[in-house]
Amino acid sequence: MSYHADDAKAIEIRPDWLQSYIDSPEKQRQLYKRTLIIVVLSQIFGGAGLAAGITVGALIAQDMLGTDQFAGVPTALFTLGSAAAAYIVGRLSQRFGRRSGLAAGFLTGGIGAIGVVIAAITNNILLLFASLLIYGAGSATNLQARYAGTDMASSKQRATAISTAMVSTTFGAVAGPNMVEVMGEFATSIGIPALAGPFILAATAFILAGLVLLVFLRPDPLVVANVIARVKSKEEVNLSIETPRDTQEINNHGVVLGTVLMIVTQLVMVGIMTMTPVHMRHHGHGLSEVGMVIGIHVAFMFLPSFFTGILVDKIGRSAMAIAAGITLLAAGVIAAFASADSMAGIITALALLGLGWNFGLICGTALVVDSTLPTTRAKTQGTVDVLIALAGATGGVLSGMVAAHSSYAVLSLAGGFLSLLLIPVVVWSRNK
């Protein structure tokens, strides 16, 4: 079923199956639970696909180009690709539903991962860069899938729904980096460069995630949520219930605050994370150690999500936004001053970096969901995720340049102190 959120006939003409969801709160609750299960399954695969790029993307470029200065370019490219994909997936989801938008994004990301493997085999740097752009679609979709769980959630369930989707990403995202060496050995055994091995896993994982959504995400939660919202809106008009004059202003304010929060956390996280594998390799750490550090980092990006969601719902958005800034600052300081030979110091810094990102993303996402209506939500979410991806691309590009012209320690400190911007932003929002 093709669905357009602006189609006024959607309220008057609808099939019996859709009417049954409108009439039954119990069926709505069942759809919410079913949607979460499907999203969880797709996120397990999606997380594995996501991990390849952040673990070995910079190392592939370093080997091909023979310099560290552009080692951040792969991260920048797949985050730029994810920016374009976020925009497209958001609009596809708004028009046709989550199923079509998310499935298309994951399948496209799988094609990009295949391109990276071919580029590594042929040592073609231009194909590598083009493929990383396409691979970014999987990264964007993996992030946007967190919204699908909120479509049928009540206002008190939203952060928890977001966190459930993100927790499930952990299983694949942690397994991915820790399979770097195994996949590298497998790739070598079939005549493919070792660093391309994780992208073989990424291609398989993204394609499986897309197929899960395409086959099982029925009925589409966003389609149902949109029509229910329109029915309620029509009923309120008929009952002459007035909407507060400042509703739109409040909505816009919440979207801005949530967006700024996610942009800063993404910029800081990507900047430090991108150069950590390169920093480790310079100090004699092997691929297995790099994979372990990134695996722990990714675990802290996603695994605490369930508890984070509960905290965001219970103690409030502002408190968790401040916690995000403080945690990222701690990560930057530890990364800067920890001995490069100390695995414990690097692991602690990257764990805190992931945790701070987790706080910021779940809190910011909840603010955006709180501040949008179902009839325009997916489109707005797509636009917000474009800005987040662009922040990641900026962090990826600048990280290599800053580290090459100064040091990893300077990069880490800069990221940590940048995160302190979140505190005045939250204070400003409270005074509005």
Number of H helices and E strands in the chain, helices first, is: 17, 0
CA dist 56 and 281 (Å) reads 12
DSSP state, 421? G
pLDDT at 422 over 50: yes
pLDDT-derived band at 53 (thresholds 50, 70, 90) equals low
Cα radius of gyration (the chain): 21
pLDDT-wise least confident of 43-57, 216-230, 366-380: 43-57
Q: How far apart are the first and last CA of the chain?
A: 42
Q: Give, in order, the Cα–Cα distances in Å from 19 to each of 45, 98, 190.
A: 33, 19, 54
pLDDT-derived band at 208 (thresholds 50, 70, 90) equals very high
Domains and CATH numbers, the chain: 13-230+246-431 (1.20.1250.20)
Tell me what pLDDT residue 13 has: 54
**96-102: average pLDDT:** 92
pLDDT-derived band at 240 (thresholds 50, 70, 90) equals very low
Percentage of the chain beyond pLDDT 70 is 88
Peptide bond before residue 219 is cis, with ω within 30 degrees of 0: yes
CA dist 262 and 134 (Å) reads 23
Q: Of 161, 114, 122, nearest to 138 (Cα)?
A: 114
pLDDT digit string, tens, across residues 132-167 = 889 989 988 988 888 888 888 777 778 888 888 888
pLDDT at 356 over 90: yes
**409-419: average pLDDT:** 92
Of the two residues 251 and 43, the one the predictor is more confident about is 43
**Which two three-digit tokens encode residue 4?**
């357009």
Residues 6+ apart with CB under 8 A from 25: none
pTM surpassing 0.75?
no
pLDDT digit string, tens, across residues 258-289 = 999 999 999 999 999 988 988 888 877 877 88
Contact 47, 169 (CB under 8 A): yes
Of the two residues 180 and 47, the one the predictor is more confident about is 47
CA dist 198 and 117 (Å) reads 9
CA neighbours closer than 13 Å in the CB half-sphere of residue 25: 2
Q: Of 117, 118, 9, nearest to 53 (Cα)?
A: 117
Tell me what pLDDT residue 154 has: 75
